[in-house]
Amino acid sequence: MNVLVSKCLLGCKCRYDGDDNKIKEINQIRKNNPSLNFIGICPEVEGGMEIPRKPCEIKNKKVINEDGVDKTLFFKKGAEISKKKALKNNVKVALLKAKSPSCGKDYIYDGSFSKKLIKGDGITCQALKECGIIIFNEKEIDEFSSYIIGNFS
């Protein structure tokens, strides 16, 4: 089964600051579910942004970096690429990085660059949800594992 995963959770150093967000559980999940095929996405890099880059947040439906420069088009392009990848590979479930203006699910930063969270989804998460894809973030790794075991083992 194909599962879309934020590349930084897989250990790719594609984060805005050149680091990763690798989660330790990922190798065990792979071992326990050999039929899983993780398809990595990094909408920001695939949308044309560089590593490293200035951090971005969503404000008034636009994505701005910390200098106030509008980067919305990069984020929309990245979301479109991720959506196409998901549809082409018949993806039904995704594991995405929490709080990101691209991958974040349910909560994102509020656009003030002060670490304040508000309800909302990142641009790619929104696009994938609209396709009916079930999204988990890395804080929900146990729920993700249970879902995989319950539906695809």
The amino acid occupying position 130 is E
Beta carbon of residue 39, minimum distance to ligand SF4 (angstroms, whole number): 12
Greatest CA separation for the chain: 47
Residues 7-66 that bind ligand SF4 (CB under 6 A): 7-8, 14-15, 42-44
| Closest CB to ligand SF4 among residues 71, 97 | 97
Residue 120 is a binding residue for ligand SF4 (CB under 6 A): no
Beta carbon of residue 45, minimum distance to ligand SF4 (angstroms, whole number): 6
Binding map of ligand SF4 across residues 77-116, x = CB under 6 A, - = no contact: --------------------x--x-xx-------------
Cβ atoms of residues 7 and 14 within 8 Å: yes
Beta carbon of residue 100, minimum distance to ligand SF4 (angstroms, whole number): 4
User: Could you identify the residue written with the tokens 């089964």?
Assistant: 1
> Which one, of 54, 27, 46, 69, lies nearest residue 123 by Cα?
46
Distance CA 96, CA 110 (A): 19
With vertex at residue 63, the alpha carbon angle to CA 99 and CA 95, rounded to the nearest 5 degrees, is 30
Residue 137 is a binding residue for ligand SF4 (CB under 6 A): no
